[in-house]
Amino acid sequence: MKKTLIALAVLTVSGAAFAQSTVTISGRMDATVRHTAKVAPGAANLAVTEDGGANTVRFAIAEDLGGGLKAVADLGMRFQIADGIAQGNGARPLFQGESRVGVTGGFGTVKFGRGLTALQAPNGGNADPWGVTTSAGSVYAAGFATDYAAGGEGRIDGGFFYTSPSFNGLTLSASMSPKKIVTATVASKTHQSLNLMYAAGPLVVGLGNEQNRGGDTISQIYGNYNLGVAKVFASTATIKGGTAAQRALGLGTLTANAATAINVNSGNGAVGPVAIDGEIKNWTVGATVPMGAATLRLGYSGWNGNGSKTVAQKDDTKFGIGVKYDLSKRTYLQTSYATQTRKNNTGTTPDKDNSKQSFFDAGVVHSF
């Protein structure tokens, strides 16, 4: 009898403890048909892909520890809608979106693991009318990669992440990841990222700075304002390339990361990071205009090639226009068109060898 009572007591206590713990499963699925005007000889210019927001299955875990303290954890799997394999044709991590665990309370939120950096987490959706989706999305960080690794355009691994509570609309975020060992005696630089954001009423303004392990840096000011009839967006950024020595360490010349550096987005389809010792000046403007169930999206951005100081590159520009149509609170249709121009593409015949590209896509997106 006593053993039964003890067992019941244990089960009761355990049940109470488990009742304080929650696991939420959510996600996003999108399929987009995209047409690219110019492709390599023999390549297809029509493809079934995603609109850029990524297909995701996310697990969010929270446990109430009492006293206003909670344990939290997040896992985000990202996959390709066309074939079901992991994003990046299987090259990216299984939990590409996020894999972090930590605690949250009155002091803010502290997490450890892999995820979007302090600057990268808020700036896309607040600087870009598309929230970094579709082929028409504005280029708000041309040529900068948080990490020279598969899926490292905005994320860092082995990191420490902190987000403060909101103080009258003001929030501070920080992330740091220690140096990676390249050889027995040589290490890369330390990743560090800071972001300060003010969000109150119709106004959102943020500013931040980030340095990757290769010595590249980005400094950015971004924001948006809701006028009611439209929401307007703007951002400006300066991206600087590390030195040749720093870049070699950041790539890890003896690791697989060196090969992935060539796939860093430089903005208009030309690949490769900001040039060594180079500087990119990047700006974006845009707007969203609600029209009942439909929302018109417009964006225009510009930057100076890959920032090379030795090649006479001139401004690149990108224009995008699109419509998002809500079928419900969780499902919408979207279509967009974008055109991109790189002036003086080869650096040998100013203004006469422009490279132009255009994209069109249409798709459906469902969140659950």
Q: Is the pLDDT of residue 1 over 50?
A: no
CA atoms 62, 65, 70, 72: torsion sign: negative
Structure tokens that stand for 152 in this block? 């490292």
C-alpha torsion sign, points 48, 52, 53, 59? positive
pLDDT in tens, 46-75: 989 887 768 999 999 999 999 999 999 999
CB proximity list for 139: less than 8 A, separation 6 or greater:
267, 268, 282, 284, 301, 303, 318
| Per-residue pLDDT band at 213 (split at 50, 70, 90) | confident
Beta-carbon neighbour count of residue 321 at 10 Å? 16
Q: Which pTM does this prediction carry?
A: 0.85
Q: Are 361 and 134 in contact (CB under 8 A)?
A: yes
E strand or H helix that includes residue 16: helix 2-19
Q: Can you list the positions of beta strands (E) in 256-330?
A: 279-291, 294-303, 316-326
User: pLDDT exceeding 90 applies to what percent of the chain?
Assistant: 52
Under CATH, what is the fold of the domain 20-367? Porin (2.40.160)
Residue 26 in contact with residue 367, Cβ under 8 Å?
A: yes
Per-residue pLDDT of 21-54, as tens digits, reads: 899 999 999 999 999 887 778 888 898 988 776 8
| pLDDT tens readout for residues 238-294 | 999 888 877 776 655 444 454 455 555 555 455 567 888 989 999 999 999 999 999
> How far, in whole angstroms, is CA 119 from its chain's centroid?
9
Say how many residues make up the chain: 368
